[in-house]
Amino acid sequence: MEHVTAVPSWAMFAYLVSGVLFILALRGLSSPATSRAGNRYGMIGMTIAMVTTLLTHGVASLPEIVGALAIGGGVGFVTARKIKMTDMPQLVAAFHSLVGLAAVLVGLAAYLNPQAFGIAGADGIIEPQSRIEMGLGIAIGAITFSGSIIAFLKLAGKMSGSPIMLPGRHVLNLGTLIAILGLVAYFTQDQSQWVIATITVLSFIIGFLLIIPIGGADMPVVVSMLNSYSGWAAAAMGFTLHNTAMIITGALVGSSGAILSYIMCKAMNRSFISVIAGGFGAAPEAAGGAAKEQRPWKRGSAEDAAYMMKEAENVIIIPGYGMAVSQAQHALREMGDVLKKEGVNVKYAIHPVAGRMPGHMNVLLAEANVPYDEVFELEDIQSEFSQADVAFIIGANDVVNPAAKTDKSSPIYGMPVFDVDKAKTIFFVKRSMGGVGYAGVDNDVFYMDQTMMLLADAKKMVEDIVKALAH
């Protein structure tokens, strides 16, 4: 490989344009109404950045680079086309892991051949500031990789979504983090292989340790947090590669992910510091995975729901992951349209952590062409449940569980939840009474006097309600 040369002024301007497009992309992605435009801005910005980098940096073999881009782009294109919306959270976690691994590999490549990256003299001694950038980039990338792998396994159901608590985990985590930071500092004085190898191994381990104690109810925050980590890893590698576009992109991703994590923690009444430290989640005995006791409950039917909602003035629909699994969003939108024709005021209530990743429910409803002005966040609709004639819960559980307000031993205690108990009538769509939410907690709403359980596949139940409304 050739040495890194000074970047021409036109390339710096191109990177500036890319940065502006990335900012516009983040702005567009903040709302379902502008998300498609945001995606387009991001793709254009990344294309400009990649082409500029290839034109201004010496590469070993352009055909190899183009071939790698074709393979990676082809895999991404096919995966994006085939992936189900229900599998999107674990796909995002998998992508984060690849970003982290890429940062580790780039950092190790720079360590093994520093002259090619312009960060060392002829004697092979790496500049001290470059060692800091390299060490931090590898550490953050390794944490992102192993942490994202655990998140992927939990979201995909390949390992338990319940918190896994190791004895003395806080001391172990803190000790490992201090060791990593100490080794990065020592790396500025000694660039021996054992130092960088130890940093890499310990970082892989701490990524694993930080995520396994986090329960399923908090997984959306984890996805957002790992997104932030992947951005900071990319930014650190941008300094190592002397690539302005990587620095800008990584900083934007890292900061926006951190801000989103903070907002979600605030919405869930969680401590942002405890999220970063991997210190929140339920005690092992708190998430049993089964109903606590057998209590009387009432079973309803599609006809019951159709009649009650047709006679109602205000209906609030609360979607959750069960709606995503059954792909019921299109039938749900059809049900809402029929009710609106009957003069019913229909609104959709979205909890910050409904689903398995930030904005999961918003994306599904947008896919079904639900009007954006009918979709409300928790703080905007919470006060309206007392005036609601019907609360229609479809596939949600933890976000409507009163245990979050009353049971201090619950893994979701302190998380703001919808006040569905204030509605006159509650229809709760779920597959069976045997299951509990992702956090593994029984739900008192099942047994309330005004609740009717609609036990069936969510899509089929909604379709039956639509048919009943037609009659």
pLDDT of amino acid 6: 62
Report percent pLDDT > 70 for the chain: 88
pLDDT of residue 287: 40
Lowest-pLDDT range of 28-32, 200-204, 359-363, 462-466: 28-32
User: What's the rounded Cα separation, in Å, for the pair 79 and 81?
Assistant: 5
Residue 229 is part of which domain span?
A: 83-281
Burial status of residue 295 (CB atoms within 10 A of its CB: 0-12, 13-18, 19 or more) = exposed
Winning range, highest mean pLDDT, from 201-205, 213-217, 431-435: 201-205
Q: Compare 182 and 236 and report the one with higher pLDDT.
A: 182
**What CATH number corresponds to the domain at position 339?**
3.40.50.1220
Q: What is the pLDDT of residues 302-354, one digit of tens each?
A: 999 999 999 999 999 999 888 988 889 999 999 999 999 999 999 999 988 78
Positive/negative CA dihedral, 58, 62, 65, 69: positive
Pair 273, 358 in one domain: no
Distance CA 447, CA 56 (A): 66
In a domain, 128, yes or no: yes
Q: Which helix (H) or strand (E) element contains residue 18?
A: helix 9-29
DSSP per position, 236-271: HHHHHHT-HHHHHHHHHHHHHHHHHHHHHHHHHT--
Give the global pTM.
0.74
Catalytic residue among 123, 190, 398, 449: 398
Same domain, 240 and 344: no
- Reported as a pLDDT band with limits 50, 70 and 90, residue 42 is very high
Cβ pair 314, 389 in contact under 8 A: yes
What confidence tens digit (pLDDT) does each residue in 14-31 have? 989 999 999 999 888 877
Of 274 and 368, more confident: 368
- What percent of the chain shows pLDDT beyond 90? 37
3-state class (DSSP) for residue 290? coil
Whether residues 346 and 260 fall in one domain: no
Q: Tell whether 335 and 209 lie within a shared domain.
A: no
**What pLDDT, on the 0 to 100 scale, is given for residue 436?**
63
How does pLDDT run across 354-386, given as a tens digit for each residue?
A: 877 777 888 888 888 899 889 998 889 999 999
**Residue 450, phi then psi, degrees to nearest 5:** -90, 5
Last residue of a domain, one of 232, 248, 281: 281
Mark whether 398 is an active-site residue.
yes
- The per-residue pLDDT for 276 is 61
